[in-house]
Structure 1
């Protein structure tokens, strides 16, 4: 979770990041944090967010995800395995880890 855009932009604190990691979060998409099975992770921080969830994304016909760097591969793979996304824009490092 240290590589989350939320963290990089200082939208969440280090403590909130640690809380998400302790709760099992391995990635995020829109306003939802998810675990290694693709389930939403609930923490004090994530429960304050309002936005599209992973379940909402499953009902959208074309969901595009962009990801670079190998640290994003696990999250991308989980989203693919759970039929959340259908269009990818990724770099070679991510591609090599999800195939």
Structure 2
């Protein structure tokens, strides 16, 4: 996915979004399974945004990132 979204899982920049070739965030939200694979300290904020915005409903990550997400 190449879509910039904020802490709430909403599109950050509509102008860039309209010029991007990617599955839409609305389409991802409608899917039965939308899988996010991410990990690392620098990804925690983005993962939280994706989960909060319901962009993904399955998360595959490492134990350290999972612990940070639960804090």
Which is strand-richer, 1 or 2?
Answer: 1
Q: Give the ranges of 4+ consecutive aligned residues of structure 1 lying more than 3 Å apart after TM superposition.
A: 43-47
Higher relative contact order (CA 8 A, sep 6+): 2
Aligned length: 70
Does 2:14 align with 1:38? no
Q: Deviations over 1:35-88 (max 9, x none)?
A: 112110126544421221222100111011111211111111121122221111
| TM-score after normalising by structure 2 | 0.80
Consecutive unaligned residues in structure 1, runs of 5 or more:
1-29
Q: Which has the larger radius of gyration?
A: 1
